[in-house]
Amino acid sequence: MAVLPAEASYEQFCEYITDLKGPQSDAELADLWAWRQKLTGIRFNTERAFRAQLPADEQHLTREERGRKAEVEALSQGRNIERLPDKAYF
């Protein structure tokens, strides 16, 4: 059996579930439809747009690796790296 497309209507969904699991009550179908709507609404942030803005040699580095690279470059240029003081919250 084919997978139900994301743009399927509620009626198509009901037919699909009935064919897959047999007869279901209206409440069960409504609950399954609600879960389907929630799951199809999930989006993952992969930071692809942000990474595209980085230089080519940094696009596949993690945030920590980019930080270490910046630190090594600064030290090689003779810069002093000092820790910032902790913020005082009042």
73 vs 66: CA distance, rounded Å? 11
pLDDT at 46: 82
Query: What is the chain's pLDDT, residue by residue, as a tens digit (90 residues)?
Result: 578 898 999 999 999 999 999 999 999 999 999 999 999 888 888 888 888 999 999 999 998 999 999 999 999 999 988 878 887 776
pLDDT at 20: 92
26 vs 20: CA distance, rounded Å? 16
pLDDT at 22: 93
pLDDT at 84: 80
- The CA-atom distances, in angstroms, between 89 and each of 79, 84, 86 are 30, 15, 9
Instruction: Please state the domain extents for the chain.
Output: 10-40, 46-79
pLDDT at 90: 63
pLDDT at 86: 80
- 15 contacts 38 by C-beta, under 8 angstroms: no
Give counts: helices (H), strands (E), the chain. 4, 0
The C-alpha angle with vertex 66 and arms to 61 and 67, in degrees rounded to 5, equals 150
